[in-house]
Amino acid sequence: MANHVYKKIEIVGSSSVSVDDAISTAVARSSKSIRNLRWFEVTNVRGEIENGKVAHFQVTMKLGFTLES
């Protein structure tokens, strides 16, 4: 493996379906504008409650990608 250099950014994904969907949607959307995505790290999960039920999920996550030469 070569000596890679990585950059990290922080994003927030959201979904009315699930935490997994919030993560998948955020990664898919980010991959459209950021090349060389390599990993993600969930740092926070929170949600919105309406009428005593979970209505929305929000996931704060860090994305790592390799820098191009």
According to DSSP, the residues that pair with 57 across neighbouring strands are 15, 47
Report how far residue 10's alpha carbon sits from residue 40's, in angstroms, rounded to the nearest whole number: 9
State if pTM tops 0.85: yes
- Which residues have CB under 8 Å from 48's CB, separation 6+? 54, 55, 56, 58
Place of tokens 């994003």: 11
Q: φ and ψ at 2, to 5 degrees?
A: -70, 170
Per-residue pLDDT of the chain (69 residues; tens, 9 = 90+): 568 899 999 999 999 999 999 999 999 999 999 999 999 999 999 999 999 999 999 999 999 999 987
**CATH homologous superfamily of domain 6-66?**
Flavin-binding protein dodecin (3.30.1660.10)
Domain limits, the chain: 6-66
